[in-house]
Copies of this chain bind each other. A is one copy, B any other.
Amino acid sequence: MSKKITKRSEDFSKWYNDIILHADLAENSGVRGCMVIKPYGFAIWEEMKAVLDRMFKDTGHVNAYFPLFIPKSFFTKEANHVDGFAKECAVVTHYRLKSGDAGEIIVDQDAKLEEELIVRPTSETIIWDTYKRWIKSYRDLPLLINQWANVVRWEMRTRLFLRTSEFLWQEGHTAHATEKEAIDETKKILFIYKQFIENTLCVPVLHGLKTDSEKFAGAEKTYCVEALMQDGKALQAGTSHFLGQNFAKAFDVKFANKEGNLEHVWASSWGVSTRLMGALVMTHSDDNGLVLPPNLAPFQVVLIPIYHNQEEYDKVTSCLKDIGNDLRQNNIRVKEDFRDTHKPGWKFSEYEVKGVPIRITIGPRDLQNQTVELCRRDTLTKENILLKNITNIVFDMLEQIQIDMLEKAKDFKNKNTFIVDEFDDFAEKINAGGFVLAHWDGSPETEEAIKKQTKATIRCVPIDIEHESGKCIFSGNPSLQRVVFAKSY
């Protein structure tokens, strides 16, 4: 009604933006490249945080907090890392403002920092500078620490949630006595991400390894989970890095092993960010607005009364209140919208745009029949059910929606995953959108040439699969396995 959403088929990018704005998830701020996450969007992010934080803690991780600022010199300690991260970042050079001659506010040039501070784009360097103090002996290991934080990577072209100069994320940083332990940790987190994104966000993901050209600056190996958006583009949803001994060597972090000999520590780091909000929106939303998985919905059910006069209003809302209390007692998150200032039609549209999984309405006739109308947001189907069965039915329906949304997304992903052996076919499929499994000869030159010609990047090299040898789609050289290509965000 009130808020017009561009159709996906017309302009996917504009559609995405419309959903974010009209569902009140986020908006651009007065600071270039930085977004404001609005209360409704933030409530979804809080649910994500709660679930993931629990998964981390259940696997022995603890939270801590490290400084926002990183001295410039820290970055130079790990050669690859500085190449990857010291480029586009916010640099603090002064620590004071003062009044100028005309009373305006200017930077006080006397308050120049001796060494510039970088607003963290990621925290490996400041954390490994800290771990040097914490790790002395094998008894101090493993160290399994996570941080929820804001980070800044200067971006020229920004998109809400997908690419913003400041974003929120969690970053895990672990230290281990052996290479095997660090690799096991890296993989354990990869599977926590996969499980979380599939079961909580209902977004199916492929998992695998990044190629050398796509891996994290400073990592030995980068594992990733990749999702497929409705426009056929891939989105990197999370990464888990095996860092080898790179940061331990850069920051001279050694531990005494059981024999008393000093060894460098092994490490992992891993993160997911508010980018997941973008994945959520682009996987499930439709032309009517956002569609939320029940597990993440700030309210899972909205209650809306239909009435023509005060007497009807009183009766209908009294009945809805009872329903609300009953649902809440079953740990269902309920929103009652009994406002007299807005018409039911306006409310229907509002909560449809906001993606609330189930809408319950009662009008005077329903009251007579002792029925209610349930509307499922994901399917937009309606049904009338008996009032007395409501709590059980809602409870089951929420579970079913969670299952169905993942199935629907899996279906989409499967239908848009192609096995291809000819380059013409490859280029066509890439152009149309989807995951394309093709053979690659393993050389960065071929990878680069394919990217140049088709805009496709290797999203991941699948692991845990049976190898199947073949010929590279581009060079014709021998290949040991298919890798996943796609255009991406």
Binding site for B on A (CB under 8 A): 27, 29-31, 34-39, 42-43, 46, 62-72, 74-76, 82, 86-98, 104-105, 107, 116-119, 126, 129-130, 133, 139, 145, 149-150, 152, 154, 166, 168, 341
Q: Is there contact, CB below 8 Å, between A87 and B94?
A: no
- Among A37, A90, A118, A126, the most chain B Cβ lie within 10 Å of the Cβ of A90
Contacts of A67 in B (CB 8 A): 29-31, 34-36, 166
Contacts of A39 in B (CB 8 A): 62-64, 145
8 Å CB contact of A31 from B71, B104, B139: B71
Q: How far is the CA of A107 from the CA of B72 in the complex (A)?
A: 9
Asked, given contacts A97-B118, A117-B31, whether A42 binds B66 with beta carbons under 8 Å apart, the answer is: no
Q: Is there contact, CB below 8 Å, between A119 and B92?
A: yes
Q: How far is the CA of A27 from the CA of B66 in the complex (A)?
A: 10
Question: Shortest CB–CB separation between residue A14 and chain B, in angstroms?
Answer: 20
Q: Is there contact, CB below 8 Å, between B92 and A31?
A: no
Q: Is there contact, CB below 8 Å, between A96 and B87?
A: yes
Q: How far is the CA of A29 from the CA of B131 in the complex (A)?
A: 11
Contacts of A37 in B (CB 8 A): 64-65
* New A-B pairs, 14, CB < 8 Å, besides A39-B145, A72-B97: A30-B67, A31-B67, A31-B69, A36-B67, A37-B65, A42-B63, A43-B63, A46-B63, A75-B105, A86-B105, A93-B107, A96-B154, A97-B118, A119-B119
Contacts of A149 in B (CB 8 A): 150
Q: How far is the CA of A118 from the CA of B107 in the complex (A)?
A: 10
Q: Is there contact, CB below 8 Å, between B72 and A105?
A: yes
Q: How far is the CA of A319 from the CA of B352 in the complex (A)?
A: 55
Question: Shortest CB–CB separation between residue A258 and chain B, in angstroms?
Answer: 10
